[in-house]
Amino acid sequence: MEGKIHVLIPEEKVQARLDELAAQINADYEGKQIHLICVLKGGVFAACELAKRITLPLTMDFMSVSSYGDATVSSGLVRIVKDLDEPIENKHVLIAEDIIDSGNTLHHLLEILTSRRPADIQICTLLDKPDRRTAQVEVKYTGFSIPDKFVIGCGLDYKQLYRNLPYVGVIE
């Protein structure tokens, strides 16, 4: 994938939307402690930015689930690369994702986490591609709905590159 990068969502809009999402989360979880689960690798950028803005008691854990490999579309095969370090029973779990595409990976992840009996589970994603959805998942907090384009930046990669871009872009 070579070419010029077109900015789809500039850094300023990403940061402003993260502020808004955190404000909504702070209001919704008032009086509660949040257990933020970051879905690695891409989710770490949005999860850390979100965590800095959450003013409530917060614990974090990390999980890595893959269905892409080096491809630009999901293979549909989901594998757990890294499981959680802490139990989530009776915790208010908030899953932080970089992007929801088909929803298959997240659907599988929700089945696994729900079986561990948290108090509740909600999903926060920076980006959503609703046109690609093949598995039903309920997303409570969405940063941006985007068209069906392969995007990079803000944690999203192509062959592990471009994650560190502060904006969401498309390679033309």
Structure tokens at 1: 């994938």
C-alpha to C-alpha distance for 107 and 43, rounded to whole angstroms: 16
CA distances from 31 to 8, 34, 58, 119, 141 (A): 36, 10, 12, 14, 19
Q: For residue 71, what is the enclosing H or E element?
A: none
Q: Is 128 a catalytic residue?
A: no
CA distances from 71 to 67, 74, 75 (A): 9, 7, 8
Q: Among the options 101, 120, 148, 157, which is catalytic?
A: 101
Catalytic residue numbers read 101
